[in-house]
Amino acid sequence: MEPRLKTDIIVQAALRLSTQQAIPMVIARRGDGDAGTILVKLNKLDLGCIVLAQTRTPGGELAWIKATGENAVQEAEADAYIDRQVKRDPDIWVVEVEDRAGRPVFQGRIL
C-alpha cells in the first residue's frame, strides 16, 4: 500500500511538474492541506473540459476518475459540477490545467 501524502504536497508536486513541462496550471481553490480531495479541471481549450476526481484503488494507490463522464464537456458544465462538489465538501482542492493534449500532471492512473 502506498503511503498517504498530504494533499498540499501532492498539489505542489504537480505544480512543479506542470511548470517543468510548460503546461499551464493554477490552483483555483485551496482545500484542507491534510485531507482534502482534489478535483482537476482539465481544460482542453476548444476541445472541452474533463473533470478528474481523486480516488484510491482497492490497494490504496492514488488514481483518478473522469467525474464528468468519458467525453469532454463544455466549460460551464465542468464548472457547475465543481461548484456542486465544493458545496458538498468545503475541503476540496480545485486545480485547473490548460492543455489541449490533455497531458496528466498528477501521479496515478486514470480509471
Q: How far apart are CA 52 and CA 49, in angstroms?
A: 10
84-98 tens-digit pLDDT? 999 999 999 999 999
Domain annotation covers residue 108: no
Q: Which pLDDT belongs to residue 105?
A: 87
Host domain of residue 76:
7-101
Domain annotation covers residue 60: yes
Domain annotation covers residue 26: yes
Q: Which pLDDT belongs to residue 4?
A: 60
Q: Which pLDDT belongs to residue 5?
A: 72
Domain annotation covers residue 111: no
Give the SS3 label for residue 9. Answer: helix
- Put simply, whether the predicted model's pTM sits higher than 0.85 gets the answer yes
Please name the residue that has the C-alpha cell 472541452.
48
Q: Which pLDDT belongs to residue 1?
A: 45
Domain annotation covers residue 106: no
Q: Domain holding 88: CATH number?
A: 3.40.1530.20
Count the domains in the chain: 1
Nearest Cα to Cα of residue 51 among 61, 37, 65 = 65
Domain annotation covers residue 50: yes
Those residues of the chain that have pLDDT short of 70 are: 1-4
